[in-house]
A and B are shown apart, each in its own frame.
Chain A
Amino acid sequence: MKLPAVEGWFTMDDADPRLLGNRCRTCGTYFFPRTSMFCRNPHCEGTEFDEVPLSRRGRVWSVTTNRYQPPAPYVSPEPFEPYKIAAVELPEEKMVVLGQVKGAADVDIGTEVELVLDTLYREDENEYVVWKWSPV
């Protein structure tokens, strides 16, 4: 079975996957991961939020390749394979979101990328899925 590696952070729509943030009804500020209870804009008293899918596309702010196996709770394939992590700027939300780069594709600072779903790890019968970035 395909399951999200974390519940409620993104849609499981393979055709148009989106990160799920939320937005303050009072000041309009976006949050990802979602916030609750109180708006984190210190000038806003908002307490109500609407769930919003975030922009699917953005530009790479920076990118690096991890060449050493990280500790748990990361579930690493054996043998370990290096992977890329990109920090991506979403134009509409004006925020930077980290994600692995699918297939360690060639991306540079400024490259336009879009959100995709990919396997993070398999456990028992299940495939756990996470968001990744992929060049457009």
Chain B
Amino acid sequence: MTGQVKQDVAVLGVGMHPWGKWGRNFVEYGITAAREALADAGVKWSDVQFVSGAETIRNGYPGFVAGSTFAQALGWSGARVASCYAACAAGAQAINTARAHILAGMCDVALVVGADTTPKGFFAPVGGDRKEDPDWLRFRLLGATNPTYFGLYAQRRMALHGATHEDFALVKVKNSRHGEANPYARYRKAVTVDEVLASPVVADPLRLLEICATSDGGAAMVLSSMDYAGRHARAGAAPVRIAAVSTVTPRFPKTVIDLPDIATDSGATVAPPELTFRDSIAAAAYEEAGIGPDDLDVAEVYDLSSALELDWYENIGLCKQGEAERLLRDGDTTIGGRIPVNPSGGLSCFGEAIPAQAIAQVCELVWQLRGQATGRQVDNATAGLSVNQGLFGHGSSVIVRR
């Protein structure tokens, strides 16, 4: 495979628009985040050579051409542009597109932006009568919503590893405490186990407070070559670096059911791969960065549900299979513990703004590594990993170091 990538890119600046249900045009959120990231970087918009936009599919044509939409809104400057869509992984793909341009010498400094405005309630498939689209069919034929899949995984965790309703609720409690101090989080109120368990069941065993909401939000980063960063560095500040971006697809046969599949691949003729798809996402990032889970100080994982956060602990190698509940209960993944997970508050406190979310995960890691995560700071963090998975087989994991 690709092996270790020898060069890093620098994160000069990060910025976000607070998550919420603001109901405004997604471009506003993206531009707010972009201007914040440019100011943080000390880079002028007119100096940006490449714009990488993460697309939204729920905001019409401007959403599909997000890169140029943001470029136009900032003022046409002649910068090169790309837009990409990879569902929840779109932000990581946009980061990687910028990174690849920088590492290939095609630009020195790039702006990455993702933003979304979301409808109320469950994510639904794109409209129309589309009988060839698995995403449409799973709703039509089965009523299989996203929480359906989260419920299936959670039930499996309970049956296989003895996870309890309280364990799942504790994930929410932890994240709600982490997110309280985060000015960009949508939900900033600590909740108790009792409150979680009193909220209505959405898809057994998961309750309303354990399933991520859909949100509006925007996130942006300014990335550059290490040379450019050296020339533009503020006195005494070595930039946080991106050491790896994993954008792996699954390997055949993928025998674990995933959104939006109605059926898995068949494992009847070819043995399933050693690593499941979710295991392979961070594994590729570790390989590229030349580090392992023991080297991490902090992680941002995609807690679409409380139970899914526990799966991720194992998928990214924080513990062996079946040990995630113990890790949680021992406080290892709480700020102050051995390996804090979702110090930002995670999706639990943000809700999901799809094309912005993977970028937001990395923004948080950058603040953590710079020591700027006021009220939620992980002590002396020098290496962090983000991980998520986009519909239709998009792995996404970013490793940052300083």
Contacts and interface: CB of A to CB of B under 8 A. Distances in A.
Interface of A: 5-7, 27-33, 40-43, 61-68, 70-76, 83, 85, 87, 92-100, 108-109, 120, 130
B139 A74 contact: yes
A97 B134 CA distance: 13
B154 to A, nearest CB: 8
A90 to B, nearest CB: 8
Q: Which 7 residue pairs spanning A and B have beta carbons closest together? A: A64-B151, A71-B124, A94-B267, A30-B266, A62-B152, A73-B140, A74-B143
B29 interface: no
A68 B152 CA distance: 15
B121 interface: yes
A70 B265 contact: no
Interface stretch (B66-74, B93-101, B256-264): B256-264
B159 A109 contact: yes
Interface of chain A: mostly helix, strand, loop or mixed: loop
Contacts of A64: 148, 151-152, 154-155, 203-204
A6 to B, nearest CB: 6
A40 B147 contact: no
A96 to B, nearest CB: 5
Interface residues of B, number: 46
A67 B343 CA distance: 31
A33 B154 CA distance: 26
B122 interface: yes
Interface of chain B: mostly helix, strand, loop or mixed: loop
B164 interface: no
B269 A85 contact: no
A95 B151 contact: no
B139 A67 contact: no
Interface string B345-383: 000000000000000000000000000000000000000
A43 B266 contact: no
Nearest to A73: B140
Nearest to B271: A94
B136 interface: yes
Given A62-B152, A62-B153, A64-B155, A94 B141 contact: no
Given A41-B270, A74-B140, A65 B203 contact: yes
